Each structure stands twice: as structure tokens, then as C-alpha cells.
Amino acid sequence: MKRFALIAIGLLLVARPALAEIETGLNSLTTTIGVYDGSGDGGGSAFGLSGSAEVAKINEKATIEAGLLWFRDGEEYTQTFGSPPVTTTAEASFRNISVLGGGRYHFQLKNPRIDPYLNGGLELAFWKASSSVRSDFTTEVIESSVSETDVGIYLGGGVEYEVGDNVSLLGGLGLHTATSGYLSLQFGVTYMLGP
């Protein structure tokens, strides 16, 4: 974590003259629902919510964004065996809350209503995994949980389509390296603040 902080401070010092030209202020708000898939690393798929804001404009094509992401996944297994029958139930859940910060690059097309983009940056993920097992044979419930904070990057892209004054629909894909890595597929609405 110290290494990331030192690199970030170094980059800010080098980029300081260019940062003076950035127009700060809230440009847009986006809210999305999505599917987050970690099955490549043994996880599952989950539905989640996210929100982001473009908080500064570098130029006509590049902006700085910040966001929050939440998703939760849970499963329950029940097995009955023996005579007389004994039922055992196991439950597992995973919860992730991430803070995102990075940039977005907009491609300008001839049709001003279509706005494809690429985005990426750092992700700070706070996650918790927990499980419990209970059986008819005993009254004891065995529970365990682990929680961690992971730092990773996110990379993605998508398309926004303007459907009205200052309102766009969007669809996007993302790759997240925090929490063992997962893919995201998101759909949402962007509200532009200002002209």
C-alpha cells in the first residue's frame, strides 16, 4: 500500500503543471445495475449496483471519474443422508464494496448521440466471505468468516446513447483485478449536469 501511495505522489508532482488546467466540478452522474462474474477464479455470478461521477474535465475527450460498486453473492446447499434421515445445510455468502478512481476517454463520432468510451483506474475493494454449517444431528452451528481489503485496477469500456436532454442510456464491460479478479457487465443511466 505504501508503494502505491509513493507512486501516486510522484505522479502528482510530475503532472502538477498539467493538473492546473483541469476543470473541476461535477459533470455527470451514472447509476448502473450489473452482473459480476468471478467464475474464472472459482467464484460465482452476482447482481450488483454501482454509481459513478465524472468529477473533472481534462479536455473535450478525457475526464476524471470516481465511483462506488456493491455486489453480494450467496448460496445454500442441503443434503439428507442416513437412516433415520439427517439433514445438513451449508450456507456461503460473499459481499464486496469497492471505491473506484480513474479516468475516462470519450471517442467523438459523427453522430453526437452515440458516445463510446474507455475507462480505467485504481480499485480499493473491501470484501467479506462467510459460511455456516448446521445439522439436524447436533444443535451446534459452525460459522466462519474472513474479510480483507484488496487494491487492484479496473479496465473497461462501453457506449452511451443520448435519449433526451442530458440523459443517456449506457452499456459497458469491465475487468477488475481486486478480490481475485472478476468481469462485469453493466447497464444504466447517465445524467449530464450542465449544458
Q: Is residue 111 part of a domain?
A: yes
Q: Is residue 77 part of a domain?
A: no
Q: Is residue 50 part of a domain?
A: yes
Q: Is residue 91 part of a domain?
A: no
Q: Is residue 3 part of a domain?
A: no
CATH of the domain at 63: 2.40.160.20
Q: How many domains does the chain have?
A: 1
- Which range among 63-72, 81-90, 139-148 shows the weakest confidence by mean pLDDT? 81-90
Q: What percent of the chain has pLDDT over 70?
A: 82
The overall pTM is greater than 0.85: no
Q: Is residue 81 part of a domain?
A: no
Q: In 3D, which of 54, 76, 53 has the Cα closest to residue 63?
A: 54
In this prediction, residues 48-61 reach a mean pLDDT of 89
* Residue showing cell 461521477: 53
Q: Is residue 85 part of a domain?
A: no
Name the DSSP letter for residue 39.
G
Main-chain phi, psi angles of 14, to 5 degrees:
-70, -40
* Residue showing cell 444504466: 188
Q: Is residue 38 part of a domain?
A: yes
Domain that holds residue 41: 25-72+99-124+150-192
Q: What percent of the chain has pLDDT over 90?
A: 35
Q: Measured between alpha carbons, how far apart are the two ends of the chain, in Å?
A: 39
